[in-house]
Structure 1
Amino acid sequence: MKSEKFKELAENRVNRVIDDIRKVANLSNKTRYEYSDTQIKKIFTAIEEATKEAKSQFQVKNDTTKKFSLD
């Protein structure tokens, strides 16, 4: 049940993200839009950071906090 719900939601959300990325790519049409290299870098930095953050949520969480010890 949970895996079915995950699959359903994941497929819908990932397809929506892919569609939105294609819409961002449509902004590359220089006959319709004017933009700077700085703006493009900001866009893709934001996308990459959001992707990295989302991916990290799926990583196995290890207890990396250091414990105090006098030994």
Structure 2
Amino acid sequence: MPDSAKSFKWLEGADFAAIAGAVPRLVKKCLCYLLVHYPYIRDRVDLEMEMTREEDRSKFVKLASARVTKALNDIRLIGNLANRSNYDYTSEDVTKIFKALNEEISACKKRFELSNKKGSGAQFVLE
């Protein structure tokens, strides 16, 4: 048996489900202890979280700018289909196009509205 296998021999017959369940709790307890007793670490974690939020904002701005610009260009291209000298279409076709676009815009807007409401949470009061 190789030396590396010998060092893990004590794990034979271990209840890995119990170990796996205990690990997150242990990690959380250790992290809480460090954050409470070592202000430097707490300040460092706060700084890291702040940097992450800035990075998230930067990513959002970059992706939103690119995607909205692309969507606007694609909508302009759809508008080019209105040229009757090049295309034949019915009023039902136009209605279907704008219905699909409006439905997708509404769904997208609703996703933003719902993500903003998650933090507020509805309150229930019995009187």
TM over 0.5: yes
Gaps of at least 5 residues in structure 2 are 1-54, 123-127
Separation (CA, whole Å) in 2 of partners of 1:61 and 1:5: 22
Separation (CA, whole Å) in 2 of partners of 1:24 and 1:58: 25
Gaps of at least 5 residues in structure 1 are 65-71
Please report the TM-score for the alignment, with normalisation by the length of structure 2.
0.48
Please report the TM-score for the alignment, with normalisation by the length of structure 1.
0.85
Separation (CA, whole Å) in 2 of partners of 1:16 and 1:52: 18
Runs of 4+ aligned structure 1 residues displaced above 4 Å come to none
Structure that is richer in helix per residue: 2
**Equivalent residue for 2:104, pick from 39, 47, 50:** 50
**Structure 2 SS opposite 1:6:** helix
Q: Percent identity?
A: 34
> Which residue number in structure 1 is paired with residue 86 of structure 2?
32
> Which residue number in structure 2 is paired with residue 61 of structure 1?
117
Corresponding residue pairs, total: 66
Larger Rg belongs to: 2
* CA-atom RMSD in angstroms: 1.8
Separation (CA, whole Å) in 1 of partners of 2:56 and 2:72: 24
> Which residue number in structure 2 is paired with residue 2 of structure 1?
56
